[in-house]
Structure formats: C-alpha cells, structure tokens
Amino acid sequence: MSRRPRLGAIALAVTVAALLTACGGDDGDSSAAPSEDAATSETPAAEEAPSGTVTVLAAASLTESFETLADQLQDTYPELEIVYSFGPSSGLVEQVLAGAPADVLATADTKTMDQAVAGGVVDGEPEIFARNTLALAVPAGNPGNVTGLADLANPDLRIAICEPQVPCGGAAQRLLDAAGVTAAPDTLTTDVKEAASLVALGEADAALIYLTDAAAEGDAVETVDVPEADAVVNDYPVAVLSEAANAEGARAVLDAITGEPGRGILTEAGFLEP
C-alpha cells in the first residue's frame, strides 16, 4: 500500500540557471609558476549550481505569494525545478510524517511545524519568515449586513470558519475567545482558501480568513473592521526536511523564501515581517 501526498493545489515548474556565485573553484595548479594574466581567466563553477526538482509543501495561504516568488526565481535559477503543493498545514505535516517525499515544508503556524520537528522529519531549526492576522470577510456589498464578530453567532447568517485543527481555525478560535463570541458556523472548511472562496462566491455571509487571503480575492470580498484581530498573529515557519532528496536545491529555495525576493513579495501581499 503506498501513500502519496495530496498534491491538490498548484504545481509550478521553475527552471533555474546559475545559483552559486563566485567561487572560481578551480584550484588550478598551485605548483606552476604564477602567470600575470591568470586572474583574468577564472569563470564561475556553473556545474556546482543547484539543479533538479525541489518539492515544497506549503500552507494554502501562501499560494499567491509563492507562485509570484517562483515566477521571479525563474530567471535566476533556470536549472532548478520547483514543484509546489499547497494545502492545510496540518494535512501537509501528516503527509510528511507518513513518509511523503518532499524537500521543504512551510506551515501557517508553529504548532503544526512543531509536530513535524517532534516527528524527526525536519533538518535543523525552522525559520520564521512571515506573520499573518485574521480578517472578518464578507461578500462584496455585505449582503448579510455583518458589522462585527458578534454577528458570527447569528444563526440566520451563513458562516464559514476553518476546521479547528488547521492554523486558520486555531487562530479563529483564539480571536473568538478574546472577543467573547461563540460562533455558529454553518461550514467548517479544510483550509483558508475554501473559506475565502465561499465568501467570494456569495455562498457564505461571513468568514474568518487571513487578511492576505481577503486581499487575494480582490473586489469579490470586503472586510469588516475587527480591532481584536491585531492581537491574534500566526507565525509562519519554513524548514528543509531531513529526507530531502535534493537538499542543496531545498536550501536554495529556503534562502529565497527567507531573503529577497521572498520578503518583498510576502510584504506586498499583506504578510507581516517576522
């Protein structure tokens, strides 16, 4: 019986070219007499550049940002193929713990990443690369006349909230607890993208989703001000996996996520800096 990862979302292929800079690498013949023009003949050791396929399992809320990152990396790393699989963080961790082949894991909270660390599938310490907060999202025009978190307890409204085991669901519960609201959800979604889609399509009157996902829906979704939301923040960690088949390529992708252009792309999408 084989188990395969649920590669439900988006797979991107990015071809990458020269990664390592410098290193002139060639030791040359040190015993030979120095030549005056030796310094002009060095070229980068292109054969040392990372190549092959890197599989990245990433939280659904990172979809648009990581797709943009892949587009930007294409020119820089044309010989490295990046395959993304987006989904709920808890589900991604379950896949990794079950032995699903992958090189990099990026989750939407530290709780799920901690499960991967405890399971011994992470190489080294995860790095926090972004943070995110929730928004109370409603369809364009706010047909349910939602004015605040208290309306999530209204049984006459169609409410969508993430399942409690996924990061957006955990954050939603913390926010509701802080506001003293007991929500009456009609739908518990498997990830934040499903909740955002229900609102955008007008199939839910309100949902608690990440601010970045509300922004990603464009004019189809509006947000209602929730002052308490700033107090509930999810940290996003990323790590190379211990069984990564392409550890060198995985490290190059992680460096891109935690550095530039990743930092700029995530900030533009509405993520907070760590």
State yes or no: 61 annotated in a binding site.
yes
pLDDT in tens, 230-246: 999 999 999 999 999 99
Q: Tell whether residue 236 is among the known ligand binding residues.
A: no
pTM beyond cutoff 0.75: yes
Q: Phi and psi at residue 259, in whole multiples of 5°?
A: -105, -145
d(CA 161, CA 244): 34
Let me know: does 176 contact 129? Beta carbons within 8 Å. no
Give 213-272 pLDDT, tens digit per residue. 999 999 999 999 998 999 999 999 999 999 999 999 999 999 999 998 899 999 999 999
Minimum mean pLDDT range among 22-26, 39-43, 97-101, 269-273 = 22-26
Per-residue pLDDT tens for 27-39? 333 333 333 343 3
Model confidence pLDDT, tens digit, residues 142-194: 999 999 999 999 999 999 999 999 999 999 999 999 999 999 999 999 999 99
**35 annotated to a ligand binding site:** no
For position 73, what pLDDT does the model report? 80
How far apart (Å, rounded) are the C-alpha atoms in residues 16 and 45?
15
Give backbone dihedrals phi and psi of 142, rounded to 5 degrees, phi first. Answer: 50, 60
All domains of the chain in start order, with CATH = 52-131+235-269 (3.40.190.10), 132-231 (3.40.190.10)
